Amino acid sequence: MPEPIEVRKVPLKHVSDASGLTELIDAGVIEADRVIAVIGKTEGNGGVNDYTRIIADRAFREVLVARGSRTADEVAGVPIVWSGGTDGVLSPHATIFATLPAGSVPATDEPRLTVGFAMSEPLLPEEIGRRPMIEKVAAAVRDAMARAGISDPADVHYVQTKTPLLTIHTIRDAKSRGKTVWTEHTHESMDLSNGTTALGIGVALGEIPFPADEDVMHRLDLYSSVASCSSGVELDRAQVVVVGNTRGIGGRYRIGHSVMRDALDTDGIWAAIRDAGLDLPERPHPTDLKGRLVNVFLKCEASRDGMVRGRRNAMLDDSDVHWHRQIKACVGGVAASVTGDPAIFVSVSAAHQGPDGGGPVAAIVDLGE
């Protein structure tokens, strides 16, 4: 039986700030040795060379070592997923997940938040965008589900991953061994890694049939409604965090999910919050949340037809500002207008994650004692 979960959101006051984590530990809200995952936003460019992710990662891991009894090697195994880029009003922050001792909160048969994590087998550069990556990601998702105490895929509401992308070094490595890679464009490989990972999640949860290699980045009707995939230069395998609900463990929190059908779909965000268990009026307002919303987690993507609700936009034609940054700022503003809080997790590059031009939304709420 998994243990109950405490989850808190803290701001990042600067790129190497982990004071929010330190304060939670020092106040006795969580224990350093019980932190099992962190998911956050940093203020870098969100691209291949976004080193703010590495800086923030180091800051948080140093606190876990200094305030706990785990070694640096043990803390290195804690999944900490950073998404770079706080375009527009988005604010740097981190959502921290920690276990509570069994029996420290009343058990309940109502669904309550649970978290499981796993690492895949190493991903070779020639596997990114192809069947072996899908298989390895799917296996890691199933492992993480088991650790979360989830047997029914319907109880999975959010799968956050971090996977490697292609760099000049890894492309050269593949070629030296007589292998080919899906693309030699490193920035394109970010979208590719995310999309392939999402297909692995969809396969593991039974959302889609196993896709053919030629379906990757082309069959956009194949998608997961709970996948949130990021990629970077920090690791060589898939880091998987499964967040869902289970019964019998207790705790204050519950998660739900939905999808945004396009970049303006506020109803999709409200639907995720309702799915998590909050009662809301027919036309809700941020004040109806009453401080119960811990955080929302969204993926977004510019629609490939260059349209939103029948109106054309220039994001995909803009040579000055990449569409990654434009759609992230747009959806971040839309989502912040729902939550009333710009410290929300909005990540770009959502191929195979929700419908084209939209994306999945997960919401964690505090239901009280």
User: For the chain, what's the residue count?
Assistant: 369
Q: Which of 162, 193, 303, 328 does the annotation list as catalytic?
A: 162
Among residues 228, 230, 347, 349, which one is catalytic? 230
Please, how many CA atoms are within 13 Å of residue 251, restricted to the half-sphere of its CB?
A: 29
299 given a catalytic annotation:
no
Rounded-to-integer distance, Cα 54 and Cα 67, Å: 20
Cβ contact 25:63 at 8 Å: yes
User: What type of residue sits at position 117?
Assistant: F
Q: Is the CA virtual torsion 126, 156, 116, 40 positive or negative?
A: positive
Q: Show the tokens assigned to 310.
A: 């029948």
Q: CA 175 to CA 124: how far, in whole Å?
A: 12
**230 catalytically annotated:** yes
* Distance from C-alpha of 244 to C-alpha of 161, rounded to nearest angstrom: 14
Cβ–Cβ < 8 Å for 212, 233? no
Residues with a known catalytic role: 162, 230
